[in-house]
Amino acid sequence: MRRAKNLCFVLLLLFLSHAVLAQVPKPEDILGFKVGTDRKVADMFQILDYFKTLDKASERVTVKEIGKTTMGNPFIVAVITSVENHKNLEKYRQYQQKLADPRKIKDEEAEKIISEGKSIVMINCSLHASEIGASQMSMELAYNLATGNDKNTREILDNVILLLVPMHNPDGIQLVVDWYKKNLGTKFEGSRMPWLYHKYVGHDNNRDWYMFTQVESRLTIKVHNAWHPQVILDMHQMGSRGARIFVPPYVDPYEPNVDPILRQEVAKMGTFIASELTAEGKSGVIHSMIFDAWTPARAYHHYHGGIRILTEVASVRIATPITIKFDELSSYVKEPSVKMPMPWKGGKWTLRDIVDYDYSAAKAVLTNTARLRENWLRNFYRIHKKAVTRTQPPFAFVIPPDQKDMSTAVKMMNVLQMGGVEIHKAEESFMADGYLYPQDTYIIYLAQPYGGFAKALLEKQVYPEIREYPGAPLKTPYDVVAHTLPILMGVETVQVVKPFEVKSAKMDKISRPKGKIETVKKTFGYVWGHATNDDIVALNRLVKKGYSVFWAAENFSASRKAYPPGTMIVRYKKGLIEDLKSITKNLCVFFEGLKVKPEAKVYTLKPVRLGLYKSWTASMDEGWTRWILEQFEFPYKSFFNKDIRRGDLNKNFDVIIFPDIRTNTILNGIPEESIPPEYSGGIGEIGVKNIKEFVQNGGTLITLNSAADFPMKQFYLNIENSVEEIDRKSFFVPGSLLKVLINTNHPIAYGYEREGAVFFRRSPVFAAREGKSVVRYPLHNPLLSGWVNGEKYLFNKSAIVDVPLGEGKIILIGFPALYRGQSFHTFKFLFNSIYYGAASLGKL
């Protein structure tokens, strides 16, 4: 009788369990179609609605909105685990915090945590919005984890806490789906959008993992730093004619500050995924190809105790299937190899295939972290214990307090702190490596949990020479190779090799110092410097308010003090003092009163009517340029091909910027067979004529990086790109920091010192036989950080040239001056060019 009652009770529980699970809707119940159906794709709102429904329907799923996106949409994370684990989420999160900082616990407590804790996995879907498969898959994964009662699902739920980000870029998902649906059923179905799928940075949102410029990056890091996941699965898509999916191991080289344990864990997980997919009969699985782990811009996690598992699945045309014959596949995927034992034979490839491959990869990661839970936790602890007990040199990095641009120095330190780096401030002077440093020097000790992250960003990179065999050509890097923040940002930072002692305090927050006003009676006006980006923001605010503002064009003296060219001067009028006080509250700008008018030539500045060219071939550099202009308070107006073809540009603009866009794109744009007619074509020959007339009539054209080719060739300037015809075996700089010599008397270079650094990435090298060279490379190897092949081609060549044309001018900036929002040191080259382009020279 008792056994019968127990059996009835168990059956009742099972019935109730299944009844509850039956109430959890499938994705198709909400969407109206099955995930992965040809030509059907869920948009941002549908995905959000499904996860909200899941949150209400399942005790295994908690959906949290952790902030708003760039365009104001919800950014959500779904926490998925067992009901019992949900009751103890904070306990498990605290466990992770303790394992991430072994200074706070003893090994005995760590072992207890390891035995009780849970693996933390973060899955980041569709960071690149056009790679839409993972965002669709996320709904099926969440549903199956919310409802499954099989052994594998239970094992995952009991041992893993999943942080699922169904859309890293919700704004982009909506943009992509809207564009796809608009063109569905037309010959443009599945075509590429004529704008970026992130408001500002497009594809570069996956290069923002140490600078944290964008909202979505910061929100993701917020979750990461709260939970410290052992594994981060970053789900992408790639081209259609290669493998069906890439998984790690990565190819060499690894960035040297990535812990060896972690490197092996990447290989362990990657090969496990590959074996699981292959066992399921999924062909075309490849590893150890193409993708490396050099730059922290893609791999924040590698410096925070977790592994970044990148998956790249072959794409379709959003949700439109494609057919690829075997002969059309890339040669490297046609034959079996140790990297890909089961090639794909070609045929039809669909969004559903992408969803299936993504789903299998995600389940493999969850299965592995569930079964090897203690192993993942123990190695996580070991990695951090090695970090905090580090003894090898260098001992620290120090940042002296007397910076040329303290505001930017604070920005750099804030970036490091966002990455969990501890920064101390000296409470007394001290000696380190034989040098005396003053009180208030900032110190970054490397024996700390994220000392490797700090070291990777503060030291100079030396990219290794990799050859397939002795005498073979150098293997070129996958991406950029330099990420030295002190050089990128112009912050004096010193590496200290030997240990030292000093009384110091850990800084919870480092704030930008406030500015200051030194007033005088009966003032003519006020002067301030030109060395910092804050100085330029102050200029923008004063010009906007209608003040008369000038740049000194030569040295001058006032009140027994000498001032250099570039010194900024604002003429006094009522209300100025209040406006200067407002500026100094949140900008590090120092204003000095002038009793009398300086006797000096000046550039009279005016509100610049600034135009930024926007091609329908979406440009990340155009997006970054918009973002930087807005951050530093430059008013601008975007204009398009039709505006250039219409002509009369001087009526609307004083200065025009062409971002880093190639000449063919500017001239011809997108072919008419590839996109709706309103977005096809470029500026054409009439546009070339109109741009030239704009300059000849007094306008200024500024070109960034590769866009310099446009005026050089279309206007027949007596300037050439001296490396244009040199092959990559002889000359190649994939993204490195190079030393330059600067003509500081030229307005474009006001505020700089004689020597500086620029970020060089597939950039032109000017041999100029006309115009003024403002910035040039030295007569020796200019490499400061990264990798250069063929440095001799740079010797004594120009990097910025100011070229007169008619009544106007062309300013060729031959490098990415705004590189991914990171190169603070070179922002002023563009900022100065904007004002110089509309300024007039004369007496004050």
Amino acid occupying residue 438:
P
As a whole number, mean pLDDT of residues 317-328 equals: 98
Backbone angles phi, psi at 390, to 5 degrees: -55, 135
Q: Where is the domain boundary, 571, 604, 637?
A: 604
Q: What is the Cα–Cα distance from 561 to 570, expressed in whole angstroms?
A: 17
Asked whether the beta carbons of 802 and 771 are under 8 A apart, the reply is: yes
Asked whether the beta carbons of 64 and 349 are under 8 A apart, the reply is: no
Q: What are the C-alpha distances in Å from 757 to residues 605, 775, 829? A: 27, 10, 12
For residue 748, being part of any structural domain is answered with yes
Are 599 and 630 contained in the same domain?
no
Q: Tell me the pLDDT band of 747, cut-offs 50, 70 and 90.
A: very high
61 burial class (0-12, 13-18, 19+ CB within 10 angstroms)? buried
For residue 666, being part of any structural domain is answered with yes
Question: Is the pLDDT reported for residue 477 higher than 90?
Answer: no
Query: Which pair of structure tokens corresponds to residue 748?
Result: 């474009």
Are 746 and 817 contained in the same domain?
yes
Q: Tell me the pLDDT band of 11, cut-offs 50, 70 and 90.
A: very low
Are 335 and 404 contained in the same domain?
no
Asked whether the beta carbons of 514 and 584 are under 8 A apart, the reply is: yes
Question: ∠ at Cα 433 (428, 439), nearest 5°?
Answer: 15
- pLDDT tens-place string over residues 620-658: 999 999 999 999 999 999 999 999 999 999 999 999 999
Are 173 and 204 contained in the same domain?
yes
Are 441 and 358 contained in the same domain?
no
Question: What sign for the dihedral angle of Cα 620, 750, 836, 630?
Answer: positive
Q: What is the Cα–Cα distance from 759 to 785, expressed in whole angstroms?
A: 10
Question: Is the pLDDT reported for residue 555 higher than 90?
Answer: yes
Q: Mean of the per-residue pLDDT values for the chain?
A: 96
Domain encompassing residue 547: 516-604
Are 564 and 480 contained in the same domain?
no
For residue 578, being part of any structural domain is answered with yes
Q: Where is the domain boundary, 387, 405, 427?
A: 387
Q: What is the Cα–Cα distance from 481 to 485, expressed in whole angstroms?
A: 13
Q: What is the Cα–Cα distance from 369 to 159, expressed in whole angstroms?
A: 8
Q: Tell me the pLDDT band of 8, cut-offs 50, 70 and 90.
A: very low
Q: Tell me the pLDDT band of 16, cut-offs 50, 70 and 90.
A: very low
For residue 56, being part of any structural domain is answered with yes
- pLDDT tens-place string over residues 750-782: 999 999 999 999 999 999 999 999 999 999 999
For residue 183, being part of any structural domain is answered with yes
383 burial class (0-12, 13-18, 19+ CB within 10 angstroms)? buried
As a whole number, mean pLDDT of residues 782-810 equals: 98
For residue 584, being part of any structural domain is answered with yes
As a whole number, mean pLDDT of residues 170-183 equals: 99
What does DSSP say about strands 601-604 and 700-704: parallel, antiparallel, or unpaired? unpaired
Q: What are the C-alpha distances in Å from 276 to residues 123, 282, 335, 364? A: 18, 9, 20, 7
CB atoms within 10 A of CB 595: 12
Q: Count how many domains the chain has.
A: 4
As a whole number, mean pLDDT of residues 479-505 equals: 98
C-alpha of 567 from chain center: 33
**HSE-CB of 745 using CA atoms within 13 angstroms:** 5
Say which range, 54-58, 403-407, 555-559, 678-682, has the weakest mean pLDDT. 555-559
Predicted pLDDT at 12: 43
Question: What sign for the dihedral angle of Cα 617, 620, 621, 624?
Answer: positive
Q: Tell me the pLDDT band of 10, cut-offs 50, 70 and 90.
A: very low
Asked whether the beta carbons of 307 and 265 are under 8 A apart, the reply is: yes
Backbone angles phi, psi at 765, to 5 degrees: -125, 115
Q: Where is the domain boundary, 443, 468, 497?
A: 497
For residue 3, being part of any structural domain is answered with no
- pLDDT tens-place string over residues 726-741: 999 899 999 999 999 9
Query: Which pair of structure tokens corresponds to residue 638?
Result: 């975007």
Predicted pLDDT at 468: 83
Could you tell me the CATH number of the domain that includes residue 777? 3.40.50.880
Residues in the chain: 844
Asked whether the beta carbons of 600 and 553 are under 8 A apart, the reply is: yes
Could you tell me the CATH number of the domain that includes residue 55? 3.40.630.10
Asked whether the beta carbons of 67 and 219 are under 8 A apart, the reply is: yes
Nearby residues of 151 by Cβ (< 8 Å), 6 or more positions away: none
Are 340 and 480 contained in the same domain?
no
Q: Tell me the pLDDT band of 476, cut-offs 50, 70 and 90.
A: confident
Predicted pLDDT at 177: 99
Question: Is the pLDDT reported for residue 296 higher than 50?
Answer: yes
Are 411 and 377 contained in the same domain?
no
Helix (H, G, I), strand (E, B) or coil at 293: strand
Are 624 and 565 contained in the same domain?
no
Q: Find out whether the peptide bond into 194 is cis, omega within 30 degrees of 0.
A: no
Question: Is the pLDDT reported for residue 195 higher than 90?
Answer: yes
Predicted pLDDT at 7: 46
What does DSSP say about strands 561-563 and 525-528: parallel, antiparallel, or unpaired? unpaired
Q: What are the C-alpha distances in Å from 30 to residues 33, 158, 358, 824? A: 8, 28, 21, 47
| DSSP assigned state of 236 | E
- pLDDT tens-place string over residues 809-833: 999 999 999 999 999 999 999 999 9
Predicted pLDDT at 5: 47
Are 486 and 404 contained in the same domain?
yes
pTM, two decimals, is 0.96
Q: What are the C-alpha distances in Å from 69 to residues 167, 218, 223? A: 11, 10, 15
Asked whether the beta carbons of 229 and 308 are under 8 A apart, the reply is: no
- pLDDT tens-place string over residues 203-261: 999 999 999 999 999 999 999 999 999 999 999 999 999 999 999 999 999 999 999 99
- pLDDT tens-place string over residues 17-64: 444 455 999 999 999 999 999 999 999 999 999 999 999 999 999 999
Are 588 and 643 contained in the same domain?
no
For residue 2, being part of any structural domain is answered with no
Could you tell me what percent of the chain has a pLDDT over 70?
97
Are 402 and 540 contained in the same domain?
no
